């Protein structure tokens, strides 16, 4: 059995729906952002909501918004704002990964030809000619 088969089997055992997987990713994003947030109260709220989102739909996790409000002590409006924030950050990260896969983050060289730059010999010839005043 190959390692990919083992990992796929482990991932399938969790039985997460695509929605649960998205909520769990949002929760991890919130917890990561909470670590860099300077406001301690906001950081605590972000990590608490993030933790509950990672368990959303699990056996002992919240299964709807009302339970999430009860478990976190945070209003539904704040939870929705935090989820929108996490979704926006997730979209930004996906855009960066896609851009990097396209041609890099510099956005200068978006063609497939990596050899469209002058060669070292051409640069040397031009520099020598310039130095001689030609």
- Output the pLDDT for position 63: 84
pLDDT at 67 over 80: yes
Give the per-residue SS3 of the chain.
Answer: CCHHHHHHHHHHHHCCCHHHHHHHHHHHHHHHHHHHCCCHHHHHHHHHHHHHHHCCCCCCCCCCHHHHHHHHCCCHHHHHHHHHHHHHHHHHHHHHHHHHHHCCCCCCCCCCCCCCCCCHHHHHHHHHHHHHCC
pLDDT at 44 over 90: yes
- Output the pLDDT for position 94: 65
- Output the pLDDT for position 13: 47
pLDDT at 115 over 70: no
Q: Check: pTM over 0.95? Answer yes or no.
A: no
pLDDT at 57 over 80: yes
Lowest mean pLDDT among 61-70, 81-90, 104-113, 115-124: 104-113
């Amino acid at each position: 059995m190959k390692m990919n088969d083992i990992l796929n089997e482990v991932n399938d055992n969790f039985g997460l729906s695509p929605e649960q997987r998205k909520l769990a990713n949002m929760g991890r994003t919130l917890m990561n952002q909470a670590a860099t947030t300077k406001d301690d109260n906001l950081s605590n709220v972000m990590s608490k909501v993030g933790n509950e989102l990672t368990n959303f739909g699990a056996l002992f996790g919240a299964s709807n918004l009302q339970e999430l409000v009860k478990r976190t002590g945070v209003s539904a409006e704040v939870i929705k704002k935090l989820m929108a924030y996490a979704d926006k950050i997730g979209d930004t990260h996906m855009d960066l990964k896609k851009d990097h896969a396209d041609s890099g983050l510099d956005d200068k060289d978006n063609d497939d030809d990596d050899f469209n730059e002058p060669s070292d010999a051409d640069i040397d010839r031009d520099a020598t000619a310039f130095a001689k005043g030609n």
